[in-house]
Amino acid sequence: MLKLKIKVKHLFALIVALGASFILLQLLVMPKVEVVVAKKHYEQGTANGKSELLQVIDASSGDDRWALIQQYMIENGSDLGTTSYDVIVGVETFYSNMVTSYPDEPHWTSEEKIKYLKDYLNGAPANGYLVRAAKQLALEYLTLGQTKNALGALEQTEQRLPRNLYNQSKELKLARARICVNADAFDAAERLLDELSLSSIPEASYLSDSIAKLKSQIVEQHNNKASSVSGTINRSDGKPMAGIGVFLRDSREVYHSLREDEPYLTMTDSEGNFSFKGVVPGSYVIYIGLSFDQIDGWTRPTKQDTEWIDIRGEENVTRNITLQRLIQIHSPVDEQVITGKTIKFEWEAVEGAAYYTLNGTLPIENGSVGSIIKDHIESNSIELPLETLYNAASGYSYTKIGDKDVPDPTTVLGYANPSSRFSWNVEAYDANGKLLTRSDGYRLNEKTMGHLPFFYLKEHTLTDADQLLLAGHMDDALLKYQADYERNEQDPHSLRMIVKLLGIKATENKQPLGADSIPYLEKLAGVDDNGNTLSSLIDYYGRIGNWSQVDRYYDMLNEAHQGKVPSYTQAQYGRLLLKQGKVQEGEEMLRQAQENDPSNRFIGDYIASVIYTSGNFDKAVGLANLYPERSYYGQDNPDWSKLVHGMSVESQGPNKESYFSKLQEALQGCFSGDQGHTDDWIDEPAFASMKAFITAVSEVD
């Protein structure tokens, strides 16, 4: 057997060596293991993860320590940027990154961040992280109301930065100036901005832009009549929402996603309060930034057109935001299959709700298209005939069949497709029509997930025409539907599909609905109690100038909506009245539409009709100021006040006598859609303002 010969003294030496290496392991290797384990626990969000990581940070020193603080505090920390929130909630829009790294990471408290960031600023080497650390520390101080400390941290860091980080030091100075402005320390802010302006700053850069914006904010705020927007964000259970990002966004900016250089950014304090001072006149809307924890199971109830804040100067606007609990839905849920002729929707009752709106969605390739199934439901459950769903206006999406983009047949079939998985949601409104809460939103844990809002409708059996449609043969399907309908005029499904397919065809040919569609539309209008077909008929007869039919179908529509015609249709009817020369009636209809329509999208038409009938530019300017046009989809909304003002000045010029009659002539052409005969004189420079106004009116849609 293999034997080892060893002297006692050598054995002793061996044991000593082993002991020493064990001690070394304890001192050098185990701490490293400890660091790795603590990091992992923190990232996974285990119970002690945070305290373990803090212990590790406390125990480490030098570069290791700075690296840990960089990685776990600064990198994912917030310096009031837009990237530091999980979800940006706009108006009926939600934006979040679809992939989240380390979703379970715990959050640092203000005390923790202040302690370690202060340490970092004093000791860590001067690099880009130092600037971020300073801004984050300043933010923590600001949320605690410690403005002086915030300024101190930024200034101290600025002094520490070496010359090669010159640009970063400017950024810190700008951050200080911004804090000074918000704290009403205008002299200090101006001094800082002057210092910045003196240093070489490239023109039209982010920095020069920001300096200009801050300077105009100071001017605005210096003026005692400056406007402000403030408010409180809390939850309906009374909990104040601290540390929420609040973004006051200009109507000219909302069409794009939130950017860092937008001037009005802040964060709620521990009581949930926020405020913006020195707000320049304009139209604004508030976006908020939240963490997943804060939005999970809750919603910010907003409707697009009711959220605008119009600042005309000298106003102190208060806008509070209350997050509401999502409505829980009861039935149909969890992929329930409906085979009967009716479907019963049921959901949790909402306190204070006067009525509910039920929406359905059809699945499409990357998401869903939704539409209203039933409006003004007064109880928290309703049993509907499936016909109501089949008749609901539903959009359609495009899909690729072969190498061609075609309307996706499953969406064209809508609720009549037995293999589609539909979903639904509900909104609750109070008696004033204000949205209270909704059932769709962020549902990120077991408790908030609730039931899945999916169901199948398998009452309808696919016809041969449906099969043709699903196979992508749209023209053949249309012929088959038409043949089916001729055979049986009591077949609402074929009728609906004919109207839908003719509509799609017209859209594809970029043509309005043709005369051949009208008999079908009129038949469908007789059986569809939603009134969806009527707007198409009004549009058609308006286009061909058959005014008696227009009036007839508008009356029917009015009846279908029990006198509550949607403002969009009201305005369209008003425009048709203008078109047929009934300017006074048109003006009245547009006035009513304007009262019901917070979007102000038809204000141009209304103002034009007012000017036409009264010739009163001052009244028109007043209306333009009262109802500024703004939109979520673009930045070039006409400034009606400016346009009318321009005409008002122009009308006092050399053409004073004939100006108004010329304007009426031009407007008439504009209303009737026939501007040919005004073209000659309107191009003259003396009518430049009138031309600008007429062009803007003709572009209203």
Positions that interact with other proteins (CB under 8 A): 1-9, 11, 22, 25, 30, 33-34, 37, 40-41, 43-49, 52, 94, 96-104, 334-335, 337, 359, 361, 367-368, 370, 423-425, 439-446, 449, 452-454
| Closer to other proteins by Cβ: residue 387 or 408 | 408
| Closer to other proteins by Cβ: residue 423 or 535 | 423
Q: Which two tokens stand for residue 383?
A: 């049993």
| Closer to other proteins by Cβ: residue 414 or 441 | 441
CB of 383 to other proteins, least distance (A): 21
Q: Which residues pair with 337 in a beta bridge?
A: 456
Task: Please tell me the total number of residues recorded for the chain in this structure.
Answer: 701
| Closer to other proteins by Cβ: residue 68 or 189 | 68
CB of 50 to other proteins, least distance (A): 10
Answer for the pair 73, 14: CB distance below 8 angstroms, yes or no: no
Q: List, in order, residues 6 or more apart from 448 with CB less than 8 Å away.
A: 296, 297, 326, 442
- CA–CA separation, 441 and 295 (whole Å): 8
Q: List, in order, residues 6 or more apart from 111 with CB less than 8 Å away.
A: none
- CA–CA separation, 452 and 339 (whole Å): 19
- CA–CA separation, 175 and 131 (whole Å): 11
Q: Which two tokens stand for residue 117?
A: 């960031």
Q: List, in order, residues 6 or more apart from 287 with CB less than 8 Å away.
A: 88, 89, 90, 91, 246, 247, 249, 258
CB of 450 to other proteins, least distance (A): 9
- CA–CA separation, 190 and 197 (whole Å): 10
CB of 425 to other proteins, least distance (A): 5
CB of 390 to other proteins, least distance (A): 20
- CA–CA separation, 495 and 497 (whole Å): 5
Q: Which two tokens stand for residue 112?
A: 């923790």
| Closer to other proteins by Cβ: residue 34 or 348 | 34
CB of 58 to other proteins, least distance (A): 16
CB of 1 to other proteins, least distance (A): 6
CB of 292 to other proteins, least distance (A): 9
Q: Which two tokens stand for residue 404?
A: 């061609």
CB of 619 to other proteins, least distance (A): 44
| Closer to other proteins by Cβ: residue 182 or 425 | 425
Question: Which DSSP state fits 176?
Answer: H
- CA–CA separation, 34 and 31 (whole Å): 5
CA distances from 430 to 214, 298, 301, 436, 654 (A): 40, 18, 12, 7, 55
CB of 6 to other proteins, least distance (A): 5
Long-range contacts of 461-467 (CB under 8 A, 24+ apart): 461/418, 462/418, 463/493, 463/494, 465/494, 465/497, 466/413, 466/416, 466/497
Q: Which two tokens stand for residue 306?
A: 């009711």
| Closer to other proteins by Cβ: residue 5 or 487 | 5
CB of 243 to other proteins, least distance (A): 21
CB of 9 to other proteins, least distance (A): 5
| Closer to other proteins by Cβ: residue 456 or 632 | 456
Neighbours of 696 (CB within 10 A): 19
| Closer to other proteins by Cβ: residue 110 or 448 | 448
Question: Which DSSP state fits 395?
Answer: -
Q: Which two tokens stand for residue 691?
A: 């031309």
CB of 369 to other proteins, least distance (A): 11
| Closer to other proteins by Cβ: residue 359 or 417 | 359
| Closer to other proteins by Cβ: residue 211 or 358 | 358
Long-range contacts of 560-566 (CB under 8 A, 24+ apart): 560/529, 560/530, 560/531, 560/534, 561/531, 566/596
| Closer to other proteins by Cβ: residue 52 or 650 | 52
CA angle 283, 284, 286 (to 5 degrees): 165
| Closer to other proteins by Cβ: residue 106 or 472 | 106
